[in-house]
Chains A and B, each alone.
Chain A
Protein backbone atom coordinates (compact mmCIF):
# COMPACT_ATOMS: atom_id res chain seq x y z
CA UNK A 1 0.00 0.00 0.00
CA UNK A 2 1.67 3.19 -1.16
CA UNK A 3 1.49 6.44 0.77
CA UNK A 4 -0.33 8.20 -2.08
CA UNK A 5 -3.01 5.53 -2.14
CA UNK A 6 -3.58 5.83 1.57
CA UNK A 7 -3.88 9.59 1.29
CA UNK A 8 -6.45 9.23 -1.46
CA UNK A 9 -8.47 6.80 0.63
CA UNK A 10 -8.34 9.11 3.59
CA UNK A 11 -9.44 12.08 1.49
CA UNK A 12 -12.34 10.20 -0.05
CA UNK A 13 -13.39 9.05 3.41
CA UNK A 14 -13.35 12.63 4.68
CA UNK A 15 -15.29 13.87 1.64
CA UNK A 16 -17.97 11.19 2.04
CA UNK A 17 -18.36 11.88 5.75
CA UNK A 18 -18.58 15.60 5.06
CA UNK A 19 -21.33 14.86 2.54
CA UNK A 20 -23.24 12.92 5.19
CA UNK A 21 -22.95 15.92 7.50
CA UNK A 22 -24.27 18.07 4.68
CA UNK A 23 -27.25 15.73 4.25
CA UNK A 24 -28.04 16.19 7.94
CA UNK A 25 -27.85 19.95 7.54
CA UNK A 26 -30.29 19.74 4.61
CA UNK A 27 -32.71 17.70 6.72
CA UNK A 28 -32.54 20.17 9.61
CA UNK A 29 -32.80 23.14 7.23
CA UNK A 30 -36.01 21.69 5.77
CA UNK A 31 -37.59 21.52 9.23
CA UNK A 32 -36.38 25.03 10.02
CA UNK A 33 -37.69 26.39 6.71
CA UNK A 34 -41.08 24.79 7.31
CA UNK A 35 -41.39 26.19 10.83
CA UNK A 36 -40.09 29.60 9.77
CA UNK A 37 -42.66 29.88 6.96
CA UNK A 38 -45.44 28.84 9.31
CA UNK A 39 -44.43 31.40 11.91
CA UNK A 40 -43.87 34.26 9.51
CA UNK A 41 -47.11 33.72 7.57
CA UNK A 42 -49.34 32.37 10.30
CA UNK A 43 -48.44 34.57 13.24
CA UNK A 44 -49.69 37.75 11.56
CA UNK A 45 -53.25 36.46 11.33
CA UNK A 46 -53.30 35.25 14.91
CA UNK A 47 -55.67 37.42 16.93
CA UNK A 48 -58.54 37.04 19.38
CA UNK A 49 -60.83 36.96 16.36
CA UNK A 50 -59.51 33.53 15.34
CA UNK A 51 -60.85 32.04 18.55
CA UNK A 52 -64.13 33.95 18.75
CA UNK A 53 -65.55 34.18 15.22
CA UNK A 54 -66.66 31.60 12.71
CA UNK A 55 -65.14 31.09 9.26
CA UNK A 56 -65.83 34.15 7.09
CA UNK A 57 -67.18 34.60 3.60
CA UNK A 58 -64.54 35.62 1.03
CA UNK A 59 -63.36 39.15 1.66
CA UNK A 60 -64.89 39.68 5.09
CA UNK A 61 -63.21 39.15 8.42
CA UNK A 62 -63.71 36.15 10.64
CA UNK A 63 -62.04 33.42 12.62
CA UNK A 64 -61.75 29.67 12.90
CA UNK A 65 -63.72 28.89 16.04
CA UNK A 66 -66.23 26.57 14.37
CA UNK A 67 -63.37 24.66 12.72
CA UNK A 68 -61.41 24.46 15.98
CA UNK A 69 -64.51 23.27 17.82
CA UNK A 70 -65.23 20.64 15.15
CA UNK A 71 -61.67 19.38 15.17
CA UNK A 72 -61.64 19.07 18.96
CA UNK A 73 -64.99 17.26 19.03
CA UNK A 74 -64.18 14.82 16.24
CA UNK A 75 -60.64 14.16 17.48
CA UNK A 76 -61.84 13.40 21.01
CA UNK A 77 -64.67 11.22 19.71
CA UNK A 78 -62.19 9.41 17.46
CA UNK A 79 -59.94 8.78 20.47
CA UNK A 80 -62.94 7.61 22.52
CA UNK A 81 -63.77 5.10 19.77
CA UNK A 82 -60.29 3.93 18.85
CA UNK A 83 -58.22 4.04 22.05
CA UNK A 84 -60.24 1.51 24.14
CA UNK A 85 -60.36 -0.94 21.22
CA UNK A 86 -56.65 -0.48 20.61
CA UNK A 87 -55.72 -0.98 24.26
CA UNK A 88 -57.95 -4.08 24.55
CA UNK A 89 -56.43 -5.58 21.40
CA UNK A 90 -52.96 -4.81 22.74
CA UNK A 91 -53.97 -6.49 26.01
CA UNK A 92 -54.81 -9.65 24.10
CA UNK A 93 -51.48 -9.54 22.21
CA UNK A 94 -49.42 -8.90 25.33
CA UNK A 95 -51.28 -10.80 28.07
CA UNK A 96 -53.48 -13.59 26.72
CA UNK A 97 -52.06 -14.57 23.37
CA UNK A 98 -48.46 -13.42 23.52
CA UNK A 99 -47.12 -16.53 21.83
CA UNK A 100 -50.21 -17.53 19.85
CA UNK A 101 -49.97 -17.78 16.08
CA UNK A 102 -53.06 -15.58 15.81
CA UNK A 103 -51.16 -12.81 17.61
CA UNK A 104 -48.37 -12.95 15.04
CA UNK A 105 -50.88 -12.49 12.24
CA UNK A 106 -52.65 -9.66 14.06
CA UNK A 107 -49.37 -7.88 14.81
CA UNK A 108 -48.43 -8.08 11.14
CA UNK A 109 -51.82 -6.87 9.89
CA UNK A 110 -51.74 -4.08 12.46
CA UNK A 111 -48.33 -2.92 11.24
CA UNK A 112 -49.68 -2.84 7.69
CA UNK A 113 -52.75 -0.86 8.77
CA UNK A 114 -50.43 1.54 10.59
CA UNK A 115 -48.98 2.67 7.26
CA UNK A 116 -52.12 2.28 5.13
CA UNK A 117 -53.14 5.43 3.24
CA UNK A 118 -55.62 7.40 5.34
CA UNK A 119 -57.67 8.42 2.32
CA UNK A 120 -58.62 4.77 1.86
CA UNK A 121 -60.03 4.77 5.41
CA UNK A 122 -62.10 7.79 4.37
CA UNK A 123 -63.48 5.87 1.38
CA UNK A 124 -64.20 2.88 3.62
CA UNK A 125 -66.22 4.96 6.08
CA UNK A 126 -67.94 6.70 3.19
CA UNK A 127 -69.23 3.42 1.76
CA UNK A 128 -70.01 2.03 5.21
CA UNK A 129 -71.50 5.00 7.09
CA UNK A 130 -72.13 8.00 4.84
CA UNK A 131 -74.06 6.07 2.18
CA UNK A 132 -76.07 4.27 4.89
CA UNK A 133 -76.96 7.52 6.65
CA UNK A 134 -77.55 9.29 3.38
CA UNK A 135 -75.48 12.36 4.25
CA UNK A 136 -72.10 13.54 5.51
CA UNK A 137 -71.80 13.85 9.28
CA UNK A 138 -69.42 14.60 12.12
CA UNK A 139 -69.98 11.12 13.50
CA UNK A 140 -68.69 9.59 10.23
CA UNK A 141 -65.61 11.80 10.51
CA UNK A 142 -65.07 10.67 14.11
CA UNK A 143 -65.38 7.01 13.08
CA UNK A 144 -62.73 7.35 10.38
CA UNK A 145 -60.39 9.06 12.86
CA UNK A 146 -61.15 6.29 15.35
CA UNK A 147 -60.14 3.66 12.80
CA UNK A 148 -56.82 5.43 12.33
CA UNK A 149 -56.30 5.55 16.11
CA UNK A 150 -56.62 1.75 16.51
CA UNK A 151 -53.36 0.54 14.90
CA UNK A 152 -51.32 3.36 16.50
CA UNK A 153 -52.63 2.49 19.97
CA UNK A 154 -52.26 -1.27 19.47
CA UNK A 155 -48.61 -0.88 18.55
CA UNK A 156 -47.55 1.46 21.36
CA UNK A 157 -49.77 -0.10 24.04
CA UNK A 158 -48.45 -3.59 23.36
CA UNK A 159 -44.88 -2.35 23.62
CA UNK A 160 -45.69 -0.63 26.91
CA UNK A 161 -47.55 -3.60 28.44
CA UNK A 162 -44.67 -5.89 27.56
CA UNK A 163 -42.31 -3.69 29.56
CA UNK A 164 -44.11 -4.67 32.80
CA UNK A 165 -41.99 -7.39 34.43
CA UNK A 166 -43.70 -10.77 34.61
CA UNK A 167 -42.77 -11.06 38.30
CA UNK A 168 -45.50 -8.50 39.01
CA UNK A 169 -48.07 -10.63 37.22
CA UNK A 170 -46.89 -13.74 39.04
CA UNK A 171 -47.10 -12.00 42.40
CA UNK A 172 -50.69 -11.04 41.67
CA UNK A 173 -51.58 -14.53 40.44
CA UNK A 174 -49.98 -15.96 43.57
CA UNK A 175 -52.48 -13.97 45.65
CA UNK A 176 -55.23 -15.80 43.79
CA UNK A 177 -56.21 -13.05 41.33
CA UNK A 178 -57.75 -13.98 38.02
CA UNK A 179 -55.84 -12.73 34.96
CA UNK A 180 -58.35 -9.95 34.30
CA UNK A 181 -57.91 -8.64 37.83
CA UNK A 182 -54.14 -8.82 37.50
CA UNK A 183 -54.35 -6.89 34.25
CA UNK A 184 -56.74 -4.18 35.44
CA UNK A 185 -55.33 -3.76 38.96
CA UNK A 186 -51.61 -4.43 38.44
CA UNK A 187 -50.54 -4.26 34.80
CA UNK A 188 -52.58 -1.26 33.63
CA UNK A 189 -51.65 0.96 36.60
CA UNK A 190 -47.99 0.04 36.20
CA UNK A 191 -48.12 0.85 32.48
CA UNK A 192 -50.25 3.96 32.98
CA UNK A 193 -47.82 6.55 31.66
CA UNK A 194 -46.83 4.31 28.77
CA UNK A 195 -50.44 3.86 27.72
CA UNK A 196 -50.90 7.62 28.02
CA UNK A 197 -47.92 8.12 25.68
CA UNK A 198 -49.56 5.85 23.14
CA UNK A 199 -52.83 7.74 23.31
CA UNK A 200 -51.02 11.08 22.98
CA UNK A 201 -49.17 9.82 19.90
CA UNK A 202 -52.46 8.67 18.40
CA UNK A 203 -53.94 12.10 19.16
CA UNK A 204 -50.99 13.76 17.43
CA UNK A 205 -51.47 11.48 14.45
CA UNK A 206 -55.16 12.28 13.91
CA UNK A 207 -55.08 15.99 14.79
CA UNK A 208 -53.80 16.92 11.36
CA UNK A 209 -55.50 14.18 9.34
CA UNK A 210 -57.36 15.70 6.42
CA UNK A 211 -57.92 13.03 3.82
CA UNK A 212 -60.29 10.82 5.86
CA UNK A 213 -62.44 13.84 6.76
CA UNK A 214 -62.87 15.15 3.21
CA UNK A 215 -65.82 12.94 2.41
CA UNK A 216 -67.01 11.91 5.85
CA UNK A 217 -67.34 15.08 7.95
CA UNK A 218 -67.06 17.30 4.86
CA UNK A 219 -67.01 20.92 6.02
CA UNK A 220 -69.42 23.51 7.31
CA UNK A 221 -69.32 27.23 6.74
CA UNK A 222 -71.32 27.85 9.90
CA UNK A 223 -71.36 26.96 13.56
CA UNK A 224 -72.74 23.47 14.08
CA UNK A 225 -72.67 21.27 17.15
CA UNK A 226 -74.90 18.61 15.61
CA UNK A 227 -72.99 15.33 15.28
CA UNK A 228 -75.47 14.20 12.67
CA UNK A 229 -74.58 17.05 10.31
CA UNK A 230 -71.46 18.00 8.38
CA UNK A 231 -69.04 19.74 10.73
CA UNK A 232 -66.25 22.23 10.06
CA UNK A 233 -62.76 21.06 10.99
CA UNK A 234 -59.38 22.73 10.84
CA UNK A 235 -57.64 20.49 8.26
CA UNK A 236 -60.41 20.63 5.68
CA UNK A 237 -60.85 24.39 6.22
CA UNK A 238 -57.11 24.85 5.67
CA UNK A 239 -57.36 22.81 2.47
CA UNK A 240 -60.32 24.78 1.17
CA UNK A 241 -59.00 28.20 2.18
CA UNK A 242 -55.41 27.66 0.99
CA UNK A 243 -56.51 26.59 -2.48
CA UNK A 244 -58.90 29.55 -2.77
CA UNK A 245 -57.95 32.79 -4.55
CA UNK A 246 -59.04 35.02 -1.63
CA UNK A 247 -56.23 36.61 0.43
CA UNK A 248 -58.19 36.64 3.71
CA UNK A 249 -58.95 32.93 3.35
CA UNK A 250 -55.31 32.14 2.55
CA UNK A 251 -54.14 34.09 5.56
CA UNK A 252 -56.55 32.17 7.82
CA UNK A 253 -55.30 28.92 6.28
CA UNK A 254 -51.73 29.78 7.36
CA UNK A 255 -52.91 30.64 10.85
CA UNK A 256 -54.78 27.33 11.05
CA UNK A 257 -51.73 25.44 9.80
CA UNK A 258 -49.60 27.14 12.46
CA UNK A 259 -52.09 26.21 15.20
CA UNK A 260 -52.23 22.55 14.14
CA UNK A 261 -48.47 22.21 13.75
CA UNK A 262 -47.66 23.80 17.11
CA UNK A 263 -50.26 21.58 18.78
CA UNK A 264 -49.00 18.39 17.13
CA UNK A 265 -45.33 19.14 17.77
CA UNK A 266 -46.03 19.94 21.43
CA UNK A 267 -47.94 16.66 21.76
CA UNK A 268 -45.07 14.70 20.20
CA UNK A 269 -42.54 16.30 22.53
CA UNK A 270 -44.82 15.71 25.54
CA UNK A 271 -45.25 12.04 24.58
CA UNK A 272 -41.46 11.72 24.36
CA UNK A 273 -40.91 13.31 27.76
CA UNK A 274 -43.52 11.07 29.41
CA UNK A 275 -42.12 7.93 27.82
CA UNK A 276 -38.60 8.89 28.93
CA UNK A 277 -39.76 9.37 32.51
CA UNK A 278 -41.63 6.07 32.26
CA UNK A 279 -38.55 4.27 30.96
CA UNK A 280 -36.55 5.67 33.92
CA UNK A 281 -39.01 4.46 36.58
CA UNK A 282 -39.26 1.12 34.81
CA UNK A 283 -35.51 0.66 35.10
CA UNK A 284 -35.61 1.32 38.85
CA UNK A 285 -38.40 -1.23 39.34
CA UNK A 286 -36.51 -4.07 37.72
Chain B
Protein backbone atom coordinates (compact mmCIF):
# COMPACT_ATOMS: atom_id res chain seq x y z
CA UNK B 1 0.00 0.00 0.00
CA UNK B 2 2.67 2.43 1.09
CA UNK B 3 4.60 1.70 -2.08
CA UNK B 4 1.73 3.35 -4.01
CA UNK B 5 1.17 6.27 -1.63
CA UNK B 6 4.78 7.34 -1.41
CA UNK B 7 5.33 8.04 -5.12
CA UNK B 8 2.00 9.87 -5.14
CA UNK B 9 3.11 12.18 -2.35
CA UNK B 10 6.44 12.58 -4.03
CA UNK B 11 4.70 13.56 -7.22
CA UNK B 12 2.54 16.07 -5.40
CA UNK B 13 5.60 17.64 -3.86
CA UNK B 14 7.30 17.77 -7.24
CA UNK B 15 4.23 19.44 -8.74
CA UNK B 16 4.27 22.04 -6.00
CA UNK B 17 7.95 22.73 -6.56
CA UNK B 18 7.40 23.12 -10.30
CA UNK B 19 4.60 25.51 -9.51
CA UNK B 20 6.96 27.68 -7.45
CA UNK B 21 9.57 27.65 -10.21
CA UNK B 22 7.09 28.49 -12.98
CA UNK B 23 5.43 31.23 -10.96
CA UNK B 24 8.82 32.73 -10.23
CA UNK B 25 9.84 32.57 -13.90
CA UNK B 26 6.77 34.46 -15.05
CA UNK B 27 7.24 37.04 -12.31
CA UNK B 28 10.91 37.44 -13.24
CA UNK B 29 9.98 37.95 -16.90
CA UNK B 30 7.40 40.55 -15.91
CA UNK B 31 9.97 42.36 -13.78
CA UNK B 32 12.39 42.26 -16.70
CA UNK B 33 10.02 44.55 -18.61
CA UNK B 34 10.30 47.07 -15.78
CA UNK B 35 14.05 46.55 -15.54
CA UNK B 36 14.37 47.18 -19.26
CA UNK B 37 12.98 50.68 -18.94
CA UNK B 38 15.14 51.46 -15.92
CA UNK B 39 18.15 49.86 -17.56
CA UNK B 40 17.83 51.95 -20.72
CA UNK B 41 17.60 55.15 -18.65
CA UNK B 42 20.57 54.27 -16.45
CA UNK B 43 22.76 53.04 -19.32
CA UNK B 44 22.11 56.13 -21.44
CA UNK B 45 22.68 58.45 -18.50
CA UNK B 46 25.92 56.65 -17.69
CA UNK B 47 27.05 56.77 -21.32
CA UNK B 48 26.09 60.40 -21.78
CA UNK B 49 27.49 61.57 -18.44
CA UNK B 50 30.89 62.84 -19.75
CA UNK B 51 29.09 65.16 -22.20
CA UNK B 52 26.46 66.26 -19.69
CA UNK B 53 29.13 67.02 -17.08
CA UNK B 54 31.20 68.95 -19.60
CA UNK B 55 28.47 71.10 -21.15
CA UNK B 56 25.83 71.12 -18.36
CA UNK B 57 22.69 72.96 -19.44
CA UNK B 58 24.59 74.45 -22.33
CA UNK B 59 24.09 71.09 -24.05
CA UNK B 60 20.42 71.94 -24.48
CA UNK B 61 20.85 75.55 -25.51
CA UNK B 62 23.90 75.51 -27.77
CA UNK B 63 23.57 74.96 -31.50
CA UNK B 64 27.28 74.42 -32.04
CA UNK B 65 28.17 70.90 -33.15
CA UNK B 66 31.87 70.77 -33.87
CA UNK B 67 33.72 67.45 -33.61
CA UNK B 68 37.06 69.19 -34.28
CA UNK B 69 36.93 71.60 -31.34
CA UNK B 70 34.82 69.09 -29.36
CA UNK B 71 31.97 71.53 -28.79
CA UNK B 72 28.58 69.83 -28.80
CA UNK B 73 25.09 71.28 -28.35
CA UNK B 74 21.76 69.60 -28.95
CA UNK B 75 19.75 72.61 -30.11
CA UNK B 76 19.96 71.99 -33.88
CA UNK B 77 18.89 68.31 -33.71
CA UNK B 78 16.19 69.22 -31.18
CA UNK B 79 14.90 71.93 -33.51
CA UNK B 80 14.95 69.57 -36.49
CA UNK B 81 13.14 66.86 -34.52
CA UNK B 82 10.43 69.28 -33.43
CA UNK B 83 9.94 70.85 -36.88
CA UNK B 84 9.85 67.59 -38.86
CA UNK B 85 7.40 66.06 -36.38
CA UNK B 86 5.24 69.18 -36.48
CA UNK B 87 5.13 69.13 -40.30
CA UNK B 88 4.29 65.42 -40.16
CA UNK B 89 1.41 66.03 -37.77
CA UNK B 90 0.03 68.94 -39.84
CA UNK B 91 -0.17 66.63 -42.85
CA UNK B 92 -1.08 63.33 -41.19
CA UNK B 93 -3.78 64.44 -38.74
CA UNK B 94 -6.27 65.84 -41.30
CA UNK B 95 -5.63 62.87 -43.61
CA UNK B 96 -6.11 60.37 -40.77
CA UNK B 97 -9.27 62.18 -39.68
CA UNK B 98 -10.64 62.03 -43.23
CA UNK B 99 -9.84 58.34 -43.61
CA UNK B 100 -11.42 57.53 -40.24
CA UNK B 101 -14.58 59.46 -41.20
CA UNK B 102 -14.75 57.65 -44.54
CA UNK B 103 -14.20 54.22 -42.98
CA UNK B 104 -16.80 54.66 -40.25
CA UNK B 105 -19.46 56.70 -42.07
CA UNK B 106 -19.54 56.64 -45.85
CA UNK B 107 -17.64 53.53 -46.88
CA UNK B 108 -19.77 50.55 -48.01
CA UNK B 109 -19.53 47.83 -45.36
CA UNK B 110 -17.89 45.24 -47.64
CA UNK B 111 -15.07 47.68 -48.48
CA UNK B 112 -14.27 48.64 -44.86
CA UNK B 113 -12.20 45.56 -44.07
CA UNK B 114 -9.98 45.68 -47.17
CA UNK B 115 -9.36 49.44 -46.94
CA UNK B 116 -8.46 49.39 -43.24
CA UNK B 117 -6.17 46.43 -43.89
CA UNK B 118 -4.39 48.37 -46.65
CA UNK B 119 -3.91 51.41 -44.41
CA UNK B 120 -2.65 49.20 -41.59
CA UNK B 121 -0.22 47.43 -43.94
CA UNK B 122 1.37 50.85 -44.44
CA UNK B 123 2.44 50.57 -40.80
CA UNK B 124 4.12 47.22 -41.45
CA UNK B 125 6.42 48.57 -44.18
CA UNK B 126 9.92 48.86 -42.65
CA UNK B 127 11.12 52.39 -42.09
CA UNK B 128 14.22 51.90 -44.22
CA UNK B 129 11.93 51.29 -47.20
CA UNK B 130 10.23 54.63 -46.55
CA UNK B 131 13.70 56.15 -46.44
CA UNK B 132 14.89 54.81 -49.77
CA UNK B 133 11.52 55.71 -51.34
CA UNK B 134 11.69 59.21 -49.88
CA UNK B 135 15.21 59.76 -51.18
CA UNK B 136 14.79 58.42 -54.72
CA UNK B 137 11.12 59.10 -55.47
CA UNK B 138 9.64 61.72 -53.17
CA UNK B 139 12.62 64.09 -52.93
CA UNK B 140 12.98 64.60 -56.73
CA UNK B 141 9.23 65.24 -57.05
CA UNK B 142 9.37 67.80 -54.25
CA UNK B 143 12.50 69.39 -55.69
CA UNK B 144 11.22 69.80 -59.22
CA UNK B 145 7.55 70.59 -58.73
CA UNK B 146 6.31 71.16 -55.18
CA UNK B 147 9.15 73.23 -53.74
CA UNK B 148 9.55 75.66 -56.68
CA UNK B 149 5.79 76.21 -56.53
CA UNK B 150 5.94 76.84 -52.77
CA UNK B 151 8.81 79.31 -53.24
CA UNK B 152 6.97 81.16 -56.01
CA UNK B 153 3.58 81.39 -54.31
CA UNK B 154 4.36 81.56 -50.59
CA UNK B 155 8.00 82.71 -50.55
CA UNK B 156 7.16 86.39 -50.93
CA UNK B 157 4.58 86.52 -48.15
CA UNK B 158 5.46 88.54 -45.06
CA UNK B 159 5.83 86.00 -42.27
CA UNK B 160 5.05 82.50 -43.60
CA UNK B 161 7.28 83.35 -46.56
CA UNK B 162 10.37 82.87 -44.44
CA UNK B 163 9.52 79.20 -44.18
CA UNK B 164 9.66 78.77 -47.94
CA UNK B 165 12.78 80.57 -49.08
CA UNK B 166 16.08 79.40 -50.45
CA UNK B 167 16.91 76.92 -53.18
CA UNK B 168 14.84 73.74 -53.55
CA UNK B 169 17.28 71.07 -52.36
CA UNK B 170 14.74 68.26 -52.48
CA UNK B 171 16.00 66.83 -49.23
CA UNK B 172 15.46 68.78 -46.03
CA UNK B 173 13.10 69.33 -43.11
CA UNK B 174 9.96 69.52 -45.28
CA UNK B 175 10.72 66.25 -47.10
CA UNK B 176 11.46 64.51 -43.80
CA UNK B 177 8.13 65.80 -42.48
CA UNK B 178 6.35 64.41 -45.55
CA UNK B 179 7.87 60.94 -45.14
CA UNK B 180 7.11 60.95 -41.42
CA UNK B 181 3.51 61.91 -42.18
CA UNK B 182 3.09 58.82 -44.36
CA UNK B 183 4.63 56.66 -41.65
CA UNK B 184 2.48 57.82 -38.72
CA UNK B 185 -0.72 58.00 -40.78
CA UNK B 186 -1.78 54.38 -40.07
CA UNK B 187 -1.27 54.76 -36.29
CA UNK B 188 -3.37 57.91 -35.99
CA UNK B 189 -5.99 56.51 -38.37
CA UNK B 190 -6.52 53.29 -36.46
CA UNK B 191 -6.89 55.01 -33.07
CA UNK B 192 -9.22 57.65 -34.53
CA UNK B 193 -11.33 54.98 -36.22
CA UNK B 194 -11.60 53.00 -32.97
CA UNK B 195 -12.81 55.97 -30.95
CA UNK B 196 -15.24 57.00 -33.70
CA UNK B 197 -16.72 53.50 -33.58
CA UNK B 198 -17.13 53.76 -29.81
CA UNK B 199 -19.60 56.66 -30.14
CA UNK B 200 -22.93 55.50 -28.68
CA UNK B 201 -25.36 54.84 -31.50
CA UNK B 202 -28.20 56.50 -29.61
CA UNK B 203 -26.35 59.84 -29.58
CA UNK B 204 -26.01 59.81 -33.36
CA UNK B 205 -29.58 58.68 -33.88
CA UNK B 206 -30.76 61.52 -31.64
CA UNK B 207 -28.82 64.07 -33.71
CA UNK B 208 -30.22 62.68 -36.98
CA UNK B 209 -33.67 62.83 -35.39
CA UNK B 210 -33.18 66.57 -34.83
CA UNK B 211 -32.52 66.98 -38.56
CA UNK B 212 -28.72 67.20 -38.56
CA UNK B 213 -26.88 66.38 -41.79
CA UNK B 214 -24.39 63.53 -41.85
CA UNK B 215 -21.42 65.91 -41.56
CA UNK B 216 -23.04 67.81 -38.69
CA UNK B 217 -23.46 64.54 -36.82
CA UNK B 218 -19.77 63.76 -37.34
CA UNK B 219 -18.54 67.25 -36.47
CA UNK B 220 -20.87 68.08 -33.58
CA UNK B 221 -21.56 64.66 -32.03
CA UNK B 222 -18.95 62.05 -32.99
CA UNK B 223 -15.93 64.37 -32.85
CA UNK B 224 -16.56 65.93 -29.39
CA UNK B 225 -17.26 62.46 -28.04
CA UNK B 226 -13.99 61.15 -29.50
CA UNK B 227 -11.85 64.16 -28.59
CA UNK B 228 -9.77 62.54 -25.84
CA UNK B 229 -9.10 59.46 -27.93
CA UNK B 230 -8.04 61.49 -30.94
CA UNK B 231 -5.62 63.54 -28.86
CA UNK B 232 -4.24 60.28 -27.51
CA UNK B 233 -3.86 58.91 -31.04
CA UNK B 234 -2.14 62.08 -32.24
CA UNK B 235 0.31 61.97 -29.36
CA UNK B 236 1.02 58.31 -30.05
CA UNK B 237 1.78 59.25 -33.65
CA UNK B 238 3.90 62.17 -32.45
CA UNK B 239 5.91 59.82 -30.23
CA UNK B 240 6.59 57.65 -33.27
CA UNK B 241 7.54 60.63 -35.43
CA UNK B 242 9.99 62.00 -32.85
CA UNK B 243 11.93 58.76 -32.60
CA UNK B 244 11.74 57.59 -36.21
CA UNK B 245 15.26 57.12 -37.48
CA UNK B 246 16.01 55.50 -40.81
CA UNK B 247 13.42 57.19 -42.99
CA UNK B 248 14.48 60.59 -41.68
CA UNK B 249 18.20 59.89 -41.98
CA UNK B 250 17.78 59.37 -45.73
CA UNK B 251 15.99 62.63 -46.49
CA UNK B 252 16.67 65.24 -43.80
CA UNK B 253 20.03 66.36 -45.20
CA UNK B 254 22.10 65.82 -42.07
CA UNK B 255 23.26 69.40 -41.57
CA UNK B 256 23.77 70.61 -38.00
CA UNK B 257 22.17 73.99 -38.42
CA UNK B 258 19.00 75.85 -37.63
CA UNK B 259 17.38 77.58 -40.56
CA UNK B 260 13.99 79.24 -40.69
CA UNK B 261 13.30 77.76 -44.12
CA UNK B 262 11.58 74.37 -44.19
CA UNK B 263 13.27 73.68 -47.51
CA UNK B 264 16.76 73.78 -46.00
CA UNK B 265 18.56 70.64 -44.90
CA UNK B 266 18.70 70.02 -41.15
CA UNK B 267 19.08 67.10 -38.81
CA UNK B 268 17.13 65.35 -36.10
CA UNK B 269 18.28 63.65 -32.92
CA UNK B 270 17.83 60.16 -34.30
CA UNK B 271 19.40 61.01 -37.66
CA UNK B 272 22.47 62.50 -35.96
CA UNK B 273 22.96 59.36 -33.90
CA UNK B 274 22.43 57.02 -36.86
CA UNK B 275 24.80 58.99 -39.07
CA UNK B 276 27.64 59.84 -36.77
CA UNK B 277 27.77 57.19 -34.06
CA UNK B 278 30.04 54.65 -35.75
CA UNK B 279 32.33 57.40 -37.00
CA UNK B 280 32.54 59.31 -33.74
CA UNK B 281 36.06 59.45 -32.30
CA UNK B 282 36.80 60.45 -28.73
CA UNK B 283 34.85 60.00 -25.53
CA UNK B 284 33.19 63.40 -25.67
CA UNK B 285 31.81 62.94 -29.19
CA UNK B 286 30.41 59.46 -28.46
CA UNK B 287 28.99 60.49 -25.12
CA UNK B 288 27.36 63.59 -26.66
CA UNK B 289 25.56 61.30 -29.10
CA UNK B 290 24.47 59.01 -26.25
CA UNK B 291 23.27 62.08 -24.34
CA UNK B 292 21.21 62.95 -27.45
CA UNK B 293 19.74 59.44 -27.24
CA UNK B 294 18.85 60.01 -23.58
CA UNK B 295 17.15 63.28 -24.52
CA UNK B 296 15.15 61.51 -27.22
CA UNK B 297 14.15 58.68 -24.90
CA UNK B 298 12.94 61.04 -22.18
CA UNK B 299 11.08 63.15 -24.74
CA UNK B 300 9.27 60.23 -26.36
CA UNK B 301 8.66 58.60 -22.98
CA UNK B 302 6.80 61.66 -21.69
CA UNK B 303 4.69 61.98 -24.83
CA UNK B 304 3.89 58.28 -25.24
CA UNK B 305 3.14 57.92 -21.51
CA UNK B 306 0.72 60.86 -21.68
CA UNK B 307 -0.91 59.36 -24.78
CA UNK B 308 -1.26 55.95 -23.11
CA UNK B 309 -2.79 57.51 -19.99
CA UNK B 310 -5.38 59.29 -22.14
CA UNK B 311 -6.13 56.10 -24.09
CA UNK B 312 -6.28 54.01 -20.91
CA UNK B 313 -9.21 56.10 -19.72
CA UNK B 314 -10.99 55.09 -22.91
CA UNK B 315 -10.01 51.45 -22.69
CA UNK B 316 -11.65 51.25 -19.30
CA UNK B 317 -14.80 52.34 -21.13
CA UNK B 318 -14.56 49.27 -23.34
CA UNK B 319 -12.57 50.26 -26.42
CA UNK B 320 -9.40 48.17 -26.95
CA UNK B 321 -6.86 50.28 -28.80
Contacts and interface: CB of A to CB of B under 8 A. Distances in A.
Interface residues of A, number: 93
A119 B33 CA distance: 18
A243 interface: yes
Given A117-B296, A242-B132, A257-B128, A92 B30 contact: yes
Given A20-B105, A34-B133, A208-B129, 8 more contacts: A20-B106, A27-B119, A110-B33, A113-B37, A115-B236, A123-B43, A124-B44, A268-B121
Interface residues of B, number: 94
A10 B130 CA distance: 40
Given A24-B103, A235-B128, A108 B34 contact: no
Nearest to A38: B129
A23 B128 contact: no
Given A13-B216, A116-B301, A243-B250, A265 B124 contact: yes
Interface string A234-250: 01001100110000001
Interface string B227-246: 00000000010011011111
A27 B189 contact: yes
A243 B290 CA distance: 24
A270 B212 CA distance: 43
Interface of B: 15-16, 18-19, 21-23, 25-30, 32-34, 36-37, 39-40, 43-44, 46-47, 94-99, 101-103, 105-107, 115, 117-122, 124-133, 135-137, 182, 185, 189, 211, 213-216, 218-219, 236, 239-240, 242-246, 249-250, 270, 273-274, 277-278, 289-290, 293, 296-297, 300-301, 304-305, 308-309, 312, 320
B126 A264 contact: yes
Contacts of A113: 33, 36-37
Contacts of A38: 129, 133
B133 to A, nearest CB: 6
13 contacts: A17-B102, A19-B98, A27-B99, A85-B32, A96-B23, A96-B26, A97-B27, A112-B37, A147-B36, A181-B15, A183-B22, A254-B132, A260-B126
B99 A239 contact: no
A23 B239 contact: no
A109 B33 contact: yes
Contacts of A74: none
Given A24-B115, A27-B185, A239 B128 contact: yes
Contacts of A99: none
Interface in A82-135: 85-86, 88-89, 91-93, 95-97, 102-103, 105-106, 108-113, 115-121, 123-124, 126-128
B19 A180 contact: yes
B304 A115 contact: yes
A159 B28 CA distance: 20
A254 B137 CA distance: 12
Contacts of A112: 37, 301, 304-305, 308
Contacts, number: 271
Is the contact region of chain B dominated by helix, strand, or loop, or is it mixed?
helix
Q: Is the interface of A mostly helix, strand, loop or mixed?
A: helix
Interface of A: 1, 9-10, 12-14, 16-17, 19-24, 26-28, 30-31, 33-34, 37-38, 41, 85-86, 88-89, 91-93, 95-97, 102-103, 105-106, 108-113, 115-121, 123-124, 126-128, 147, 150-151, 154, 159, 178-181, 183-184, 204, 207-211, 214-215, 218, 235, 238-239, 242-243, 250, 253-254, 257, 260-261, 264-265, 267-269, 272
